[in-house]
Structure 1
């Protein structure tokens, strides 16, 4: 679709659904996920877009300030089937505000987790990993999938690796489980909740798995198996990819001749360290 090569009177939500399907195909989304257009009309006009990790009420205010008619979030605004819409509750309040403001909302979740150039690729690139491949490849699209694994440019002592990590991805905190290796060469990463990929990382020969929301039993398992686990928090391991999504959208919009502003939301982690 190239609006530069033929008459394209109105830029609408469908243009961005099509672009997103190129960046993060819907086919990559998990069966249990809920992605795509969740609020709004595909034919609604778009002159400005706001990209964010989380669908929260303040996002509607930011969208209105930026005159954005479309919000694209990583975490879906509607995840579980709705039996009621309570506007005195956070979800209902967000959806009602979006409808009142005429703002469409798209979810781009596990499809962007698995996509090339998605959430985990952002972590791998920040660490300058080489020979990167999916940790759990998608059966239909093997070059995509959940998590990434690759090698550092050179072996690092644990202290050197942690210093490099905090420069590349300045996490507000890091939790660890399992024994520290003598050196770190092969690194597995999974933005968001990647505890379930620990066994896959170990089988792939990873010295460490960087992810978030590591489960208690997985941490105990790591102690016994010898895999070093690092938990950097859900927000901190996923939010850096939102800038990448913004940049990819802006690039493809320019290539398609779409004159649209693509903004990145100013969101902070909901969890913080107690001083």
Structure 2
């Protein structure tokens, strides 16, 4: 009679694989990443990936029998003085603990990793020879890791055509711009999430345009004076595609390790939307 070996997958097994994909030492010093809720010894048969830790996510985790939730934005970022279910910032954590769920955060380590947030964004825009905008000293995937990416389009585009390409790539709910549009776009810099503070680095790198989000007022004015085109494509839109990218990589690593775990990406919508009202 053949013997079938059942491998019990634990949170630690998933964490070890995530360490290969997005090592914790790539995270910024101010960040809070890793196992934030639960225990390394917890058993895992199903994983739910999401950009944001929301209470709606917990209902989806229950539907797909997920024991482990992995989010990009950490569920626990700042120190808490309490853990109450009646406060918005604590609701998710309270409910996750009650449900016995395990929660891992992969934030700036996933931003900087090879194949992470910024590589996905660069790939969606078909950038060639993309390299980190802010290189890290840690080597990975045959190239340096780090925040942002800067690379070349296969052929120059007009600003209008580039905007169409950007819209198709990430379906942003809006596109805001600052600074003058150049005649042609050839070299492009990207940094998913709130990275307008590194706009000057993108300019020094020779970029014709820099795509990021949450562009600050003073940075927008700086772009005017510097003659540099900035595009604010929204925090959600510039990071959300990376969740599918993480799922694809995680599934491959699990398969290679012989670990049978279901991995699903949660569908989420941007928390900000354009306000539209009817005439009074």
TM (norm. structure 1) is: 0.96
Q: Is the 8 A contact 1:134 1:145 kept in 2?
A: yes
Q: Is the 8 A contact 2:53 2:71 kept in 1?
A: yes
**Are 1:205 and 2:185 an aligned pair?**
no
Tell me by how many angstroms 1:61 deviates. Answer: 0.9
Alignment correspondent of 1:97: 95
Q: Is the 8 A contact 1:56 1:90 kept in 2?
A: no
CA distance in 2, matches of 1:248, 1:75: 19
CA distance in 2, matches of 1:231, 1:83: 35
Tell me by how many angstroms 1:177 deviates. Answer: 0.1
Tell me by how many angstroms 1:180 deviates. Answer: 0.4
Tell me by how many angstroms 1:91 deviates. Answer: 2.8
CA distance in 2, matches of 1:125, 1:203: 22
- State the aligned residue count: 270
Runs of 5+ unmatched residues, structure 1: 1-6
**Are 1:154 and 2:152 an aligned pair?**
no
Runs of 5+ unmatched residues, structure 2: none
SS in 2 for 1:87: coil
Tell me by how many angstroms 1:169 deviates. Answer: 2.0
1:138-177 equivalent positions in 2, closer than 5 A: 138-141=136-139, 143-177=144-178
Tell me by how many angstroms 1:235 deviates. Answer: 0.4
Alignment correspondent of 1:40: 38
SS in 2 for 1:86: coil
Residue 76 of structure 2, aligned match among 75, 78, 82: 78
Alignment correspondent of 2:15: 17
TM (norm. structure 2) is: 0.94
Q: Is the 8 A contact 2:193 2:239 kept in 1?
A: yes
CA distance in 2, matches of 1:37, 1:8: 25
Tell me by how many angstroms 1:83 deviates. Answer: 1.6
Tell me by how many angstroms 1:170 deviates. Answer: 1.8
CA RMSD of aligned residues (A): 1.3
CA distance in 2, matches of 1:102, 1:124: 37
SS in 2 for 1:139: strand
CA distance in 2, matches of 1:22, 1:224: 42
CA distance in 2, matches of 1:267, 1:116: 24
| 1:87-112 Cα deviation digits (max 9, x unpaired) | 21123221121111111000000000
Alignment correspondent of 1:256: 257
